[in-house]
Amino acid sequence: MVSSAVIWGWGDDFKDAKANCEKYISSRWKENTKEICIYLTCRDWNEGIGLDLAAYTSDKEMVGDLAERLLYVAAFDGNAKVYSIRLLLFDSMVSKNEVCRHSMEEVENELKRREGLIAERFINDPEVKEVAQGRKVVFIPRIDLLCELESQCANKLVVEVVHENFKQMRELLDSVCNALIKEGLATRVLGYRLGKSVEDMKVRYVDTWGNEVLVRIA
């Protein structure tokens, strides 16, 4: 990475996003800059689903316009609170590593497989065993779902949703992807993938509810 900075935050005027991008690019874009990532960190107002949008481009003249259009899609079509817009400049084509090409059916099958792996890995966790005491243990894993979109105005678009309710996540993801296509920012969905593997997950919270033990995994 060459440099990075938050150029817009919650409470700033929407119109400042484009101007701030252009100011940052004019001072930080170098001869060895190959690609920039415009990264929006958000959360939807209704269900609290984490929503991140990333647009990769090598055209510095497009950065301000892309940031502004992504901001409006996230805030209005995604019904999200946009916490920040960060610009990340790279001296290589990092978007080539952001590949999401699984079908939704493959993702759903992987989620089912993970249910067994999560139960097997965490059922004997000391924190879980301490409160289980014969109760039914229910694991609630955090799901990271990414979607790659083809674009004619960017090298690549990637949308990520993070939550525990897969149905609600899909609804939000579909809504945002459809909006990106409708607004001309994307042409089509290329595929999906799950983030964070089971091996990287940890017990985050253990609680009891009647005769059940609720274990949140992330």
CA distance 103 to 118: 22
Q: What is the pTM of this model?
A: 0.95
Q: How confident is the model at residue 2 (pLDDT cuts 50, 70, 90)?
A: confident
Quote the pLDDT of residue 80. 98
Cα 44 to the center of its chain, rounded Å: 12
Looking at the fold, whether 28 and 89 belong to one and the same domain comes out as yes
Domains held by the chain: number = 2
Which among 61, 66, 44 has a CA at the least distance from the CA of 174? 44
Looking at the fold, whether 51 and 40 belong to one and the same domain comes out as yes
Cβ neighbour number for residue 80 with a 10 Å cutoff: 25
Quote the pLDDT of residue 141. 97
Looking at the fold, whether 69 and 151 belong to one and the same domain comes out as yes
Domain housing 69: 3-97+143-195
Looking at the fold, whether 18 and 125 belong to one and the same domain comes out as no
Q: What is the CA radius of gyration of the chain?
A: 20
Looking at the fold, whether 150 and 212 belong to one and the same domain comes out as no
Q: State pLDDT tens for residues 118-163.
A: 999 999 999 999 999 889 999 999 999 999 999 999 999 999 999 9
Q: Per-residue pLDDT for 45 more than 90?
A: yes
Looking at the fold, whether 122 and 36 belong to one and the same domain comes out as no
Quote the pLDDT of residue 1. 78
Q: How confident is the model at residue 84 (pLDDT cuts 50, 70, 90)?
A: very high
Looking at the fold, whether 170 and 81 belong to one and the same domain comes out as yes
Looking at the fold, whether 129 and 153 belong to one and the same domain comes out as no
Looking at the fold, whether 79 and 169 belong to one and the same domain comes out as yes
Looking at the fold, whether 70 and 119 belong to one and the same domain comes out as no
